[in-house]
Amino acid sequence: MNEIAEVLAGSLAGAALTVLKIAPIIILLTIVYQFLRDWRGLSGKVGRYTRWLGRLGLGRGAIVALGAGLFLGIVYGAGVLINEGRSGTSSRRELFILAFFLSVCHAVIEDTLLFVVIGGSTLGILGPRIILALIATWLLAKLLPLEE
């Protein structure tokens, strides 16, 4: 029984240390996202990305959901996607393309930071995910018929 208690104590200590490394990253990303979402100057800043969004079959309204999914993960991004769908600011085609992109490439900042904290390679984690997502989404946007 003493051996089990030692293993349990070691496991709890390891888990606590991991939480102490990860929590600041999650908290900081959440604060930054909330700030950007509430910042009125953001809409003027996203104009330069409209052309790239268009190449992926996405409109200007997709930037918030895309940012949420990329920075905070697919669950948070899905919540924003649902709100986008309900608000009617994005077409069903755009929502489908955006959901596809985020299913391939989500939480790139959060995941990369978390893996770098435990010794992962930034470029090795980030590069393939983004390249694959961009190519696959571009192909989908080309093949998916336009809405009538």
- Mean pLDDT confidence for 67-74: 75
What pLDDT is stored for residue 34 in this prediction?
72
Does 56 reside within a domain?
Answer: yes
pLDDT level of residue 16 (50, 70, 90 thresholds): very high
Q: How far, in Å, CA of 139 to CA of 111, rounded? A: 25
Task: Say which amino acid occupies 99.
Answer: A
Taking the model in full, what pTM does it have? 0.65
* Count of domains for the chain: 1
Long-range contacts of the stretch 26-31 (C-beta < 8 A, 24+): 26/110, 29/71, 29/72, 29/109, 29/110, 29/113, 30/72
The closest of 108, 110, 97 to 136, measured between CA atoms, is: 97
Over the stretch 73-101, which tens digit does the pLDDT of each residue have? 777 777 777 877 887 877 888 889 988 99
The CB-based long-range contact list for 51-57 (8 Å cut-off, 24+ gap) reads 55/138, 55/141, 56/97, 56/101, 56/134, 56/137, 56/138, 56/141, 57/93, 57/94, 57/97, 57/137, 57/140, 57/141, 57/144
Residue 24 lies in a domain: yes
Is the pLDDT at 40 greater than 70, yes or no? no
**Residue 137: band (very low, low, confident or very high) from pLDDT cuts 50, 70, 90:** very high
Helix axes 108-117, 2-38, angle to 10 degrees: 140
Range of the structural domain that residue 134 is part of: 2-143
Phi, psi angles (nearest 5°) of residue 128? -60, -35
Question: 148 lies in a domain?
Answer: no
